[in-house]
Structure 1
Amino acid sequence: MAMEPSGRVMAWNPAMARLADAPADRAVGRCVTDLFTLTGEAGEVVDLAEMRSGIARLTTNSGRSLRVEVSCSAPAGGSLLTAVFIDRTAGRPLDHGRHLLLVSAQHELHAPLTMIHGHAQLLDAVVTEENAKKSLDAIHDAVEMMRRVIADLVVAVNADLPAAGAVPATELVDVPPLVRRTLQSVPPVAGRSLLSAPRSLLVRADPVRLRQCLLLVLGNVNKYAPEGKVSISVRTEGEHGVIVITDEGPGIPEDELDQVLKPYYRSAATRNLPGMGLGLHIAKTAITAMHGRIELASAPSGGLRVALHLPLAPPKEDHP
């Protein structure tokens, strides 16, 4: 590919189109940062205009992540920067030290998770107060999520794939009760939320992954919109069940709504707050793996509107 110093793409060959999941007619004329994200070995965002050669991680807008070798050149007196990308993903052997560290972490985390789960089960038998029961449910759910994340991470690192993109085993999920239960896990948001949902709405999804997505979105609401009402609705749109979460926070500028779904991207309006810019990207990757999609829009209140779309259960599955 070739680009101007400003980052505007001027040439884009078929191999680059396949690598970045973007055809030439969609790439030429656009800024390179709109097409993919480059990160270094430590996870830092890499500016292609300042890079000469090295290994980096290229993440496409669809969430596909590749390990690439990059070589850049700028002819003397020339106005274009030429960059050559070589996909090194398939040929990279797994580093033994990294594998050992991951397996050791998996082993060491298993014991405390088992203890937490076991003690929560003991409390289940003696606790009768409703709010305490809800807290125990949240503990059980968190343990299950951590176990799944650890297992997916092991598979992902061995296959050199993004963990959140591991293909989930979907099942019939009733969305309204799952949303209610997840909301109770974030008390600061639950206390100011208005939920509108039918008694039942069945979709095909991975319930643990869906809860993870909801917690990521609700966590962002808690961090970036700590005041104001939160509106949550569950409804049917065509062939999808949709969960819409709307807050009254500062929102995200229109020209950044697509950008914040990329890894490590943080809106200028929130860069003063702690965070890595990964939450919405992880949510997008997980929802996409369940054959759904995530949509961001500005809310009439000035806040952010997040919509999670998931395929409805086929009619024959409505009554398991």
Structure 2
Amino acid sequence: MTVIAATAIAVSVFVAFQVASELMEGQLRDTAQDQLRADARVLATSAERTGPARVPLPPYPGSGRLVRIVLPDGSTRTPAGQPALPPVSEPAGRVARGASADLMESTDGDEEGYVVYTLRAGDGAVQVAGLADDSPINQFGFGMLLIGLLCVAGGALVGRAVARAGLAPIDRLTAAAVRVARTRDLDAGIPDEGGGEIRRLVQSINDMLAALRDSRQAQRLLAEDAAHELKTPLTSLRLNVELLIRLDRRGTLDSALPAESRTRLLTDLGAQVAELSTLAAELTDLARGDVSDESTELLDLADVVVAAVTRARSRVPDVEVTLEVTSVWVNGRPAALQRAVLNLVDNAGKWSPPGRPVHVRLRAEGASGVIEVDDAGPGIDAADVPRVFDRFYRAAGARALPGSGLGLSIVQRVVDAHGGRATVARSARGGALLRVDLPAAASPAPVAPR
């Protein structure tokens, strides 16, 4: 910025000097020529009255204009003591012979140049000459040079000061960012100072730090909750395995554990391993957050719901699931939406009593696609409703059932990522009614209801 300011001032001074010099030179030239014409007219009046050969010429005073009388035969008369002028030029001779009225010309003398004005007077001509003096232009140029250097130096100093003052918030912002990167202290906000773009930049970085702070807090809570949830099944699994190893080493496995007990223990181990596998998969899916390689596409939500229900029926064949869907087009990630619907159906299947099916419905409602999953179970207590979609939360009545408490949390995350809303209520059959509203999109072509 300092270099730019100094360069801009230097260019401005140079352009101003060129323009001013041209204007000043033209003004001085016009003034000098006008003075020569005026003096020539006075001398021409005397020459016409007395004749060019007899007009009196006072001695040269030592300075000032130079005069000369040009006679028709080409001879000249000059005042006594006057410096010699350059020879009469051919155009000036033609003026003396009556070929033209006047002539303004520049000539070169022995040492200096002259501006000579020739004016017809009687049967000859008078010439008035002045030195072509460039000293005022040179003095003006020297003055402009000094002023330009001062302006460039001053502009560089001012530009540097303005640049340092303007970039001071950036320096402090950089130092704060380096400090945060070095200390990993995301709670240290950056002071909101400056204005315009600087203030918006500071606010954006503070917003980014707040988002990172929330992300780190969520990560810490996820790790703490995961450690807590993994502790119980791992402890039970370890105790059962240690029991089997100890009995096997003693050689009393068959006597200490009858076939029925051994079968029950192995079944318990299989259930615990399955629970750990499910929990690990759900933790992995939840830890990914909104980061996914799956792209968003225009899809028929009915296809997603049908695929999810088909998977649920194969996983829990003893739970009956009824399906009632209508084509609703949305912009979304098909795999994520299918996982969310599958979790809703799995959750309802845990509570559905034998012989009472789980109802799954999909319909268009206004500008939304609505998915409803209800069961005929005991329903959700009012005290548990606000925390149904929290991670690892399990109601008191659900703690004896298999599950990790992450299924509905994953549903909430998927729905939020698609700009929708998940709610819970009591169904008409007395059980839980889980509802998901997703923004609908225009269908590519009319499709008949299923």
What TM-score comes out, normalization by structure 2 length?
Answer: 0.35
Higher fraction of helix: 2
* Structure having the higher Rg: 2
Q: Which has the higher contact order (CA 8 A, sep 6+)?
A: 1
Higher strand share: 1
